[in-house]
Amino acid sequence: MKNQQNNSKKGTSFFEDDSGNKSSMRMMCFISLLSSILFGILTIYTGNNDGIIITFGFLVGCFAPKAVQKLAEKEVNKR
C-alpha cells in the first residue's frame, strides 16, 4: 500500500510514459513540433510558399505517429 502511494506522489515528467519510462516517441513528437514552428516562422518571414509543405509535413509528423501508436497498442491489447 505504501509503495503505491509513493509511486502516485512521484509523478512523471513530460517525456516519460505513465510507468515512468523514458518515451522516445514523445521526444520525437516534441522535436517535430518545434521544427514545424521554426519552419512556419521562416516561411512567413521569407514569403516562400514551398515552406508551407515542409511545415505541414512536420505537423503531420508531430501528431500522426502518436495516434498510430495508440491505435496499434489498442489492437494488440484486444488479442
pTM listed for this prediction: 0.65
pLDDT over 70 percentage in the chain: 78
Q: How far is CA 10 from CA 18, 19, 20, in A?
A: 11, 11, 9
Number of Cβ atoms within 10 Å of the Cβ of 58: 19
Q: pLDDT tens digit string along 42-58?
A: 888 988 888 888 888 88
For the chain, give every domain's residue range: 21-78
